[in-house]
Amino acid sequence: RPEFALFNVLEAARKNHIENFIYASSNAVVGEQEPPINEEKIPAPISPYGASKLAGEALCSAYYHSYDIRAISLRFANCYGPYSDHKTSVVAKFIRRAKQGKALIIYGDGNQTRDFIHAQDVCRAIDLALECDSQALNAGRDTSDSGLIFQIGTGRETEIIKLADMIRDLAVESGIKASDVVLEKEQKGDIKKNYADISKAKELLEFKAQIELYTGLKRVWT
């Protein structure tokens, strides 16, 4: 189970005197709230996934306060990138189905939004968090005193229907007929609108996403 795995890794970090620890959290911890999402939003997850990530943040906070492990929680937006054909993320599914000539299935009206960030930018954020000096990080402690938390995304929202159109365009560029788009009943626990406010990450980590969505999708497609 994920929470037990995280506990074991944090215990290993404590026993081996590891000072810096990065936890891959998610925007899903905040649930359905008015975007842009910043670190001041009170977490209210509406899915088991979001709840599990919030539990992980709490565990990191406990180790931060109890053992001086600099446990930083990075709340990633919707990540996508290479070598993800097997994944169930919306980008991976759309690209996989588009290459197969199958319909792109959207749950809901397609107007729901997400903040899509390329894996390369995610890796940059992790590197910057590890390299950031402790004084700067301590200055950025969030007001709930729950440890070190950063929203990591592009700061831009994209409608799912527009994402589908981009991938359909990539298919046509590759000589594949554009897939149909099929709208189905929305799923419970699916957040309507979500994108990150990365002001804190910009200020303290000097982070800014560099890869535009269409460019990133094209890299993944090829």
Does the pLDDT at position 147 exceed 80? no
The pLDDT assigned to 134 comes to 67
C-alpha 220/C-alpha 222 separation (Å) is 5
Report the relative pairing of strands 148-152 and 20-26 from DSSP bridges.
Answer: unpaired
Domain ranges for the chain = 2-221
**CATH code 3.30.559.10 for 2-221:** no
Q: What's the rounded mean pLDDT across residues 58-66?
A: 92
| DSSP three-state, residue 46 | coil
Which residues have a catalytic role annotated? 49
The pLDDT assigned to 139 comes to 60
Which of 192, 200, 216 lies closest to 46 in space, CA to CA? 192
Q: What's the rounded mean pLDDT across residues 114-136?
A: 91
Q: What's the rounded mean pLDDT across residues 89-110?
A: 95
C-alpha 89/C-alpha 120 separation (Å) is 17
What does the pLDDT look like over 22-34, one tens digit per residue? 999 999 999 989 9
Q: Which residue has the tokens 């992790």?
A: 126
The pLDDT assigned to 145 comes to 43
Does the pLDDT at position 109 exceed 90? yes
Q: What percent of the chain has pLDDT over 70?
A: 92
pTM of the model: 0.90
Does the pLDDT at position 144 exceed 50? no
